[in-house]
């Protein structure tokens, strides 16, 4: 998948628009945003996009009408609907009008990222190749059954894990939960969960030390800064 893919995000909720746009920018995508369907259609008419992410409830041109407009001119352009509408009729209508995937708010970024990767891969395969093998298409829609599904423990987030790991790499020697917490701006309780996970996969070790007043202090040490083990959890 091309990390320089150009994405149009259409979301009337300013806060959600900002959160999703920041996430996409962190993944090195090029992002345009629109607050309603009319603004989105104006952009689509002028620029080339690799995928469209759209809400349903929007002023002027809503998500359904935007789907009709886009599909009348761009048959292959992937469109993912992101909506809080959970009723069957709304979801069926979106698919009937040509959306490729439907994600219900609030959503997990892992699910969002999976859809984004799959549809971008498929789009670029179709757009960039004159002759397409079945195996190439299957890579975008079928998970290899021999490939293990690796997930983080409940309550841990891969983006936060990435931030914590990058922070750990800045320490030359041992460090405490409090030191990591202060650097990344996340509570000690939450940081401790991530450090314990990293210890469980043998990237950290924990030692007990005596503090300046004789109190025990637990310190962590990164045992393998070059490891690519976390890639299966973060990417």
pLDDT digits (tens, 9 = 90+) for 53-91: 999 998 889 999 999 999 999 888 889 999 989 888 899
Q: What is the pLDDT of residue 2?
A: 45
b/e per residue, 135-174, with b = 16+ CB within 10 A?
A: eeeeebeeeeeeeeeeeeeeebebebbebbbebbeebeeb
Overall pTM surpassing 0.75 (yes/no): no
Q: Which range marks the domain in which residue 201 is found?
A: 158-234
Q: Answer for the pair 55, 30: CB distance below 8 angstroms, yes or no.
A: no
Does any domain span residue 227?
A: yes
- Asked which of 141, 176, 199 is the last residue of a domain, the reply is 141
Does any domain span residue 152?
A: no
- Asked which of 141, 174, 209 is the last residue of a domain, the reply is 141
Q: Residues 90-142: pLDDT tens digits?
A: 999 999 999 988 988 877 777 888 888 877 777 666 666 666 566 665 655 54
Same structural domain for residues 66 and 21? yes
Number of domains, the chain: 2
Does any domain span residue 121?
A: yes
The phi, psi pair for 37, rounded to 5°, reads: -65, -35
Same structural domain for residues 173 and 129? no
For 195, the 3-state DSSP assignment is helix
Q: What is the CATH number of the domain that holds 225?
A: 1.10.10.10
Q: Answer for the pair 192, 177: CB distance below 8 angstroms, yes or no.
A: yes
């Amino acid at each position: 998948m091309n990390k320089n893919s150009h994405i149009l995000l259409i979301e009337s909720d300013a806060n959600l628009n900002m959160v999703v746009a920041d996430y996409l920018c962190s993944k090195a995508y090029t992002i345009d945003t629109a607050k309603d369907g009319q603004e989105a259609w104006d952009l689509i008419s002028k620029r080339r996009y690799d995928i469209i992410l759209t809400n349903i409830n929007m002023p002027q041109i809503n998500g359904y009408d935007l789907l009709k407009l886009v599909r009348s001119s761009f048959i292959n352009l992937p469109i993912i609907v992101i909506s809080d509408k959970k009723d069957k009729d709304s979801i069926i209508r979106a698919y009937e009008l040509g959306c490729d995937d439907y994600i219900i708010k609030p959503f997990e970024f892992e699910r969002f990222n999976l859809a984004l990767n799959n549809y971008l891969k498929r789009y670029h395969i179709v757009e960039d190749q004159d002759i397409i093998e079945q195996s190439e298409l299957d890579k975008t829609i079928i998970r290899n059954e021999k490939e293990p599904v690796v997930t983080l423990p409940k309550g841990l987030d891969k983006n936060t894990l990435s931030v914590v790991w990058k922070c750990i790499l800045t320490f030359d020697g041992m460090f405490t939960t409090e030191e990591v917490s202060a650097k990344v701006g996340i509570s000690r309780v939450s940081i401790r969960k991530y450090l314990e996970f990293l210890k469980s996969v043998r990237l950290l070790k924990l030692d007990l030390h005596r503090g300046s007043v004789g109190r025990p202090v637990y310190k962590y040490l990164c045992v393998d800064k070059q490891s690519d083990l976390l890639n299966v959890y973060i990417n």
